[in-house]
Amino acid sequence: MRVLAVTSGRADASPMAPVIKALGEWDIIEVNYEGLHVHECTQELRMQLIFDRPDVVLLLGDRYETLAAALAATVAKVPIAHIHGGEASFGSFDNQIRDAISKLAHIHFVAAEPFKERLIAIGEDPERIHVVGAPGLDNIDLAELGPRKPGKFFVATYHPPTLGESGGIYALIEALDRFPDYNVIWTGVNNDPGNEEIKAALEGHDCRSLGLLDYLVLCRHAAAVVGNSSSGIIEAPTLGVPTVNVGPRQDGRLKGDSVVDCPENAEGIEEGIYLALEYEALRLEDDDLYMGYYHNPYGGPGASQKIADILATAEIEVRKSW
């Protein structure tokens, strides 16, 4: 089987990597359209589909480049396999993009049972939906990171909340400044509208462009992960690090007990950080405060191999009845 795997940057390339590894000896064509406009992505993929003639296009997540790829595959009558559909993030337009990709897709690999139910609610055939977990967690298993040794630093990521108010970055910076005993390592900002304001606000701060392994190592040993990235919700619990989820960007997402939601103001973020640090100290001492040790509702390692095994025998029908 020939598979065209399309990504748009670190957000989907990192969790896609173990899936490609699990596909092993398959004929895999990888393309990355990071930074291209939607019409450029569509045109590029249209030519790729004509030239390579894949049996299936493999997509992950909710980026607008991914939607462009789904549109091109639909017109070319090439089946689409979509990973991480059915999820919700009401504070960004990723939410609508994700659902649009799901409606164009022909086979779904979702991370948890509630996401399957959500796809069924928008008319997807239950027989086409497979609950496999989150493939990005396989990266943690493959990295063999060793035991966690919390340091006096936070890993912070802040992306534009495209359906929320701008300016939250300033509240986050102010809140982190209230913890002078902790260093702050900032990771890169995505390309969504509003990213220039965030980049300008972070000038002079410790901002790093991290590879996957470096990112996982830093998060593994951080006192907490702080910001509004989905990584703090999906990967951080498995890394054993508490998360302070800031603002509305990830509203609606399924979250484990180690994820602390807080409003997008300095006082609320400060309170959330203190609570996350208490989680680290309390562990299981107070059942009312902390119901479980970093339970991850997105599962554990093994999703990538499940996806590969299902694709190996799947007969994907291009026509959809809803």
Between the two ends of the chain, the Cα-to-Cα distance in Å is: 27
pLDDT at 42: 87
User: What fold is seen in the domain 2-135+302-313?
Assistant: Rossmann fold (3.40.50)
Model confidence pLDDT, tens digit, residues 125-138: 999 999 999 999 99
For residue 44, the model assigns a pLDDT of 87
Q: How far apart are CA 256 and CA 249, in angstroms?
A: 17
Q: Do domains 2-135+302-313 and 142-282 have the same CATH topology?
A: yes
Distance (Å, whole) CA 245 – CA 239: 16
Which fold does the domain 142-282 belong to in CATH?
Rossmann fold (3.40.50)
CA distance 214 to 187: 11
Tokens at residue 260, please? 């602390």
What residue ranges do the domains of the chain occupy?
Answer: 2-135+302-313, 142-282
Residue 291, pLDDT score: 38
Q: For the segment 244-260, what is each residue's pLDDT rounded down to a tens digit?
A: 999 999 999 999 989 99
* 8 A C-beta contact, residue 212 and residue 239: no
Per-residue model confidence as pLDDT tens for the chain (322 residues): 899 999 988 889 999 999 999 999 899 999 998 878 888 888 888 899 989 999 999 999 999 899 999 999 999 999 999 999 999 999 999 999 999 999 999 999 999 999 999 999 999 999 999 999 999 999 998 888 888 888 999 999 999 998 888 889 999 999 999 999 999 999 999 888 899 999 999 999 999 988 899 999 999 999 999 999 999 999 999 998 999 999 999 999 999 989 999 999 999 999 999 999 987 766 545 444 433 347 899 998 999 999 999 999 999 988 988 7
- Whole-model pTM? 0.91
- Given a contact cutoff of 8 angstroms between Cβ atoms, the answer to whether 253 and 233 are in contact is yes
Which string of b and e fits 233-258 if b means at least 16 CB within 10 Å?
bbbbbbbbbbbbbbbbbbbebbbbbb
